[in-house]
């Protein structure tokens, strides 16, 4: 048996398509959705991610402005850029690409972003709303993308055992909350680097989400036959057979597809969904100013 692959690229494009109409409606009411992306430093992967986000804006008709800052930018300079974007009424979404340079404090930058423009959904107010069971605000993009993929595949998680491997504030923690929320109703275990017998815990799960950041960590024999496996990992690994000398690998061993019922590919799974959710949040943030 081989898993049904969940095509995040196709679903992401469908979601983006559905935004085109909402963007047109906003424009007819005098609002042009506008995302500001702040990129500090020269991290190669961040440059690729930001380019992909700007391309998605073009597909949806969203205006995007990119602010490039040097890798030695000071905390004060970065904070000033955020403050200016906060008070600029023509900007609806602000995204400061992570990781920010070592000369800056990423958490305090996150807290400085106006929560109504926080299209990453990382501000404590937006994460706090999620804890309170309010899921109609600006939600973190990767977890929201995972939930949208599960929903689109028609997978019912009521009473299901879910294991989220990874406890980051960007993916693992908010995703665990979303899976446990009323209406989804999964029973969630959060596993992490100190978890004993992660393989054993996963083998009982109907859903395994890997958000670890280490290539091919989750093996086929961790997976219960027929379970859903969502791979959030995007790891660049050496591959001499490629012209580039490297390729992307997920956190899950591709062999797991021989056991799983559903599985997300890497690339083309969760990655494009994160971007589609960022577009959704940007349109939502622009709509909220008219409400």
Q: Return the structure tokens found at 100.
A: 């920010």
- Cis-peptide into 131, omega within 30 deg: no
Q: Return the structure tokens found at 139.
A: 């939600």
Contacts of 196 (CB under 8 A, 6+ apart): none
**In this chain, which stretch among 54-62, 90-98, 101-109, 224-232 interacts with ligand GUN, using CB under 6 A?**
90-98
**In this chain, which stretch among 66-74, 91-99, 239-247, 250-258 interacts with ligand GUN, using CB under 6 A?**
91-99
Q: Is 75 a catalytic residue?
A: no
CA dist., res. 106 & res. 86, Å (int): 17
Specify the residue, 141 or 205, whose C-beta has the smaller distance to ligand GUN. 141
Backbone angles phi, psi at 79, to 5 degrees: -65, -35
C-beta separation of 27 from 62 below 8 A: no
Q: Is 120 in the site for ligand GUN (CB under 6 A)?
A: yes
Q: Is 195 in the site for ligand GUN (CB under 6 A)?
A: no
**Cβ-closest position to ligand GUN:** 98
CB of 142 to ligand GUN, least distance (A): 6
Helices (H), 139-269: 141-152, 172-180, 198-203
C-beta separation of 69 from 38 below 8 A: yes
Q: Is 120 a catalytic residue?
A: yes
Q: Is 85 in the site for ligand GUN (CB under 6 A)?
A: no
Q: Is 98 in the site for ligand GUN (CB under 6 A)?
A: yes
Burial class (CB within 10 angstroms; exposed 0-12, middle 13-18, buried 19+) of 212? buried
Choosing from 12, 64, 91, 97, the residue that interacts with ligand GUN (CB under 6 A) is: 97
CB of 189 to ligand GUN, least distance (A): 24
Which of 7, 118, 120, 253 is an active site residue?
A: 120
Task: Please give the positions annotated as active site.
Answer: 53, 97, 120
Binding site for ligand GUN (CB under 6 A): 49, 95-98, 120, 141-142, 274
């Amino acid at each position: 048996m081989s898993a049904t692959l969940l095509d995040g690229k196709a679903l992401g494009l469908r979601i983006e398509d559905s935004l085109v109409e909402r963007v047109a409606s906003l424009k007819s009411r005098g609002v042009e959705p506008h995302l500001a992306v702040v990129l500090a430093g020269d991290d190669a992967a961040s440059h690729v991610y930001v380019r992909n986000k700007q391309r998605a804006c073009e597909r949806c008709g969203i205006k995007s402005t990119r602010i490039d800052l040097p890798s030695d930018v000071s905390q004060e300079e970065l904070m000033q850029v955020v403050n200016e974007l906060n008070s600029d009424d023509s900007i609806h979404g602000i995204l400061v690409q992570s990781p920010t340079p070592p000369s800056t404090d990423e958490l305090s930058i996150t807290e400085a972003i106006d929560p109504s423009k926080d299209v990453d959904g990382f501000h404590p107010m937006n994460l706090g709303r999620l804890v309170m069971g309010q899921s109609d605000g600006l939600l973190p993009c990767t977890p929201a993308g995972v939930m949208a993929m599960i929903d689109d595949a028609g997978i019912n998680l009521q009473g299901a055992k879910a294991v989220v491997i990874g406890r980051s504030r960007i993916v693992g923690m908010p995703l665990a909350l979303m899976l446990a929320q009323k209406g989804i109703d999964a029973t969630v275990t959060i596993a992490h680097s100190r978890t004993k017998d992660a393989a054993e815990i996963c083998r009982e799960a109907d859903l395994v989400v890997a958000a670890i950041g280490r290539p091919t960590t989750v093996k086929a024999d961790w997976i219960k036959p027929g379970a859903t496996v969502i791979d959030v990992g995007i790891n660049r690994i050496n591959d001499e057979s490629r012209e580039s000398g490297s390729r992307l690998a997920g956190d899950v061993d591709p062999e797991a597809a021989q056991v799983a019922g559903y599985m997300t590919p890497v690339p083309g799974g969760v990655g494009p969904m994160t971007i589609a959710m960022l577009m959704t949040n940007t349109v939502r943030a622009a709509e909220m100013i008219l409400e």
